[in-house]
């Protein structure tokens, strides 16, 4: 059975969705860079090993990432899963886990990399927004995409209502991505592209606002 380690920084709702998804893998540990991350208690309550590697205890990114990597590697995971982990990782760290490190991002990448994605989508007036699960590469939020979900943007949306609609989809696509990865149905190939034998949906379209 494959093993995964989940990294969080806060609330941990994506982590919780993964814990509840009955994935075909062992969740070896949940690690946070913040001791007060609410998600740690949720993981502990489910009997999952937890650890804190506090970024504040390290003078720079490189030494923090090295300590984080040492902690992660004690669990010998097949995949390292970023679930609301709010630290930018060094190239050395990313390359160490290349093809085994995945992230969920609250936008339809490559649109809206970085933060405040919902506010920016609303300001631009896009009619469709969403979320993406991708392999992590040194380019921030730029790695090969595994799965995306699109949602309509409503006329009266606020960042909060749009974010809730996107989050609901995050909780569906992240477990799906992990299921595929752990069953070797999706992988990063030798050209750095996502390879997959998964179902595609020709003809499926989300039109927003709807056609009348």
> By C-beta, is 77 or 130 nearer to ligand GRF?
130
Does 32 bind ligand GRF (CB under 6 A)? Our answer is no
Give the CA distances from residue 110 to residues 68, 117, 129, 142, 145, in Å, rounded to whole numbers and listed in that order: 27, 11, 12, 7, 9
Candidates 3, 11, 55, 96: give the one binding ligand GRF (CB under 6 A). 11
* CA dist., res. 88 & res. 121, Å (int): 22
Shortest distance in whole angstroms from residue 155 CB to ligand GRF: 23
- Contacts (CB under 6 A) with ligand GRF, residues 39-78: none
> By C-beta, is 63 or 158 nearer to ligand GRF?
158
Position of minimal CB gap to ligand GRF: 84
* CA dist., res. 156 & res. 124, Å (int): 14
Beta-carbon contacts of 142 under 8 Å, excluding residues fewer than 6 positions away, are: 109, 110, 113
Does 141 bind ligand GRF (CB under 6 A)? Our answer is no
Candidates 77, 84, 143, 175: give the one binding ligand GRF (CB under 6 A). 84
The three-state secondary structure class of 186 is strand
- Contacts (CB under 6 A) with ligand GRF, residues 163-182: 167, 170
Shortest distance in whole angstroms from residue 10 CB to ligand GRF: 5
Based on its alpha-carbon atoms, the radius of gyration of the chain, rounded to whole angstroms, reads 17
Check: CB of residue 92 under 8 Å from CB of residue 100.
no
- The residues binding ligand GRF (CB under 6 A) are 8, 10-15, 83-84, 104-106, 167, 170
């Amino acid at each position: 059975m494959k093993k995964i380690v989940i990294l969080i920084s806060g609330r941990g709702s994506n982590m919780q969705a993964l814990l509840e998804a009955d994935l075909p893998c062992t969740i070896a540990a949940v690690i946070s860079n913040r001791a007060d991350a609410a998600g740690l208690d949720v993981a502990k309550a489910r009997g999952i090993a937890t650890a804190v590697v506090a970024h504040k205890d390290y003078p720079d990114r490189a030494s923090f990432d090295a300590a984080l990597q040492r902690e992660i590697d004690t669990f010998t995971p097949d995949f390292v899963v970023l679930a609301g982990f709010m630290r930018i990782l060094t190239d050395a760290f990313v390359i160490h886990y290349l093809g085994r490190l995945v992230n969920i991002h609250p936008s339809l990448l490559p649109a809206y990399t970085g933060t405040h994605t919902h506010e920016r989508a609303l300001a631009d007036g896009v009619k469709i927004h969403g979320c993406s699960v991708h392999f992590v590469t040194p380019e921030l939020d730029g790695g090969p995409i595994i799965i995306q979900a699109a949602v309509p943007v409503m006329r009266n949306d606020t960042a909060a209502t749009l974010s809730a609609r996107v989050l609901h989809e995050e909780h569906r696509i992240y477990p799906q991505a992990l299921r595929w990865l752990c069953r070797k149905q999706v992988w990063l190939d030798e050209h750095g592209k996502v390879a997959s034998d998964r179902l595609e949906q020709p003809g499926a379209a989300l039109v927003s606002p709807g056609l009348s």
